[in-house]
C-alpha cells in the first residue's frame, strides 16, 4: 500500500460583512461549495437523507469539465462558535483523505466585518507528482479569495 503525503493548510481573510451575515451564508456547506467553485460547479446536493439541519450529513458535488465527484460529510457544526467541520468520505483525484474546519469570527473593532479562518488537513497518494500537489494547494488558496470576493461590496466603477 502506498504511503500518503500529508499537508496542513491554513488560510484566513477579512470579509466585508458582519459575522451574523456571513454565518447565515456559510453555515450551509452547500452554499460554501457554490461560492468556492462558482462557474466550475456542476451539481451540489445532500445525499442519504442529509440536510442542513442534520449532523453528520453527507453531500456530493461535481466539479470541472470531467464532473469529478466529491463525496463529503459535515462532521460538526457549532452555531455559537460559527464553525463547520467537514471531511471526505471517498478519494477524489489525488486526495485520499481530507478534513477541514472553517470559523467565522468577529472583528472586534468593526461589527460590519468578520474574519474567516479555514484549516485543512489533506492527504494525497504518495505517488502524486509535486506539480499536482502544488495545483491542489493553489486551488485551496484561491477558494478563500473566492469567499472574500463574494462578500466584497460591489465596485461602483463597474456600475452602468
Q: 3-class SS at 23?
A: helix
129/115 Cα distance (integer angstroms): 34
Quick: pLDDT tens for 108-152: 899 999 999 999 999 999 889 999 999 999 999 999 999 999 999
**pLDDT level of residue 1 (50, 70, 90 thresholds):** very low
Quote the Cα angle for 46-120-138, to 5°. 100
Planar angle of CA 42, 28, 151, nearest 5 degrees: 85
- Sheet containing strand 95-106, edge to edge, reads 4-15, 114-125, 95-106, 83-88, 68-78, 57-63, 41-47
Q: For 72-92, how does the pLDDT look when each residue is reduced to its tens digit (9 = 90+)?
A: 999 999 999 999 999 999 998
Instruction: Tell me the three cell numbers of residue 151.
Output: 462578500
Residue among 65, 67, 61, 66 nearest 29 (CA):
61
pTM of the predicted model as reported, rounded to 2 decimal places: 0.90
**112-131: string of b/e by CB count within 10 Å (b at 16+)?**
ebbbbebebebbbeeebeee
CB atoms < 10 A from the CB of 1, how many?
Answer: 4
Q: Which domains does the chain have, with CATH numbers?
A: 4-153 (3.30.530.20)
8 Å CB contact between 119 and 10: yes
Amino acid at each position: 500500500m502506498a504511503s500518503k503525503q500529508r499537508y496542513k493548510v491554513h488560510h484566513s481573510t477579512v470579509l466585508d460583512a458582519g459575522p451574523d451575515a456571513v454565518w447565515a451564508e456559510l453555515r450551509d456547506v452547500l452554499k460554501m461549495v457554490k461560492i468556492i467553485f462558482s462557474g466550475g460547479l456542476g451539481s451540489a446536493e445532500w445525499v442519504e437523507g442529509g440536510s442542513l439541519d442534520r449532523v453528520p450529513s453527507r453531500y456530493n458535488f461535481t466539479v470541472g469539465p470531467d464532473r469529478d465527484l466529491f463525496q463529503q460529510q459535515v462532521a460538526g457544526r457549532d452555531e455559537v462558535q460559527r464553525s463547520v467541520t467537514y471531511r471526505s468520505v471517498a478519494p477524489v483525484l489525488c486526495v485520499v483523505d481530507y478534513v477541514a474546519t472553517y470559523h467565522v469570527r468577529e472583528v472586534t473593532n468593526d461589527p460590519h466585518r468578520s474574519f474567516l479562518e479555514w484549516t485543512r488537513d489533506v492527504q494525497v497518494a504518495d505517488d502524486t507528482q509535486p506539480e499536482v500537489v502544488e495545483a491542489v494547494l493553489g486551488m485551496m488558496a484561491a477558494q478563500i479569495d473566492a469567499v472574500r470576493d463574494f462578500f466584497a461590496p460591489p465596485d461602483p466603477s463597474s456600475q452602468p
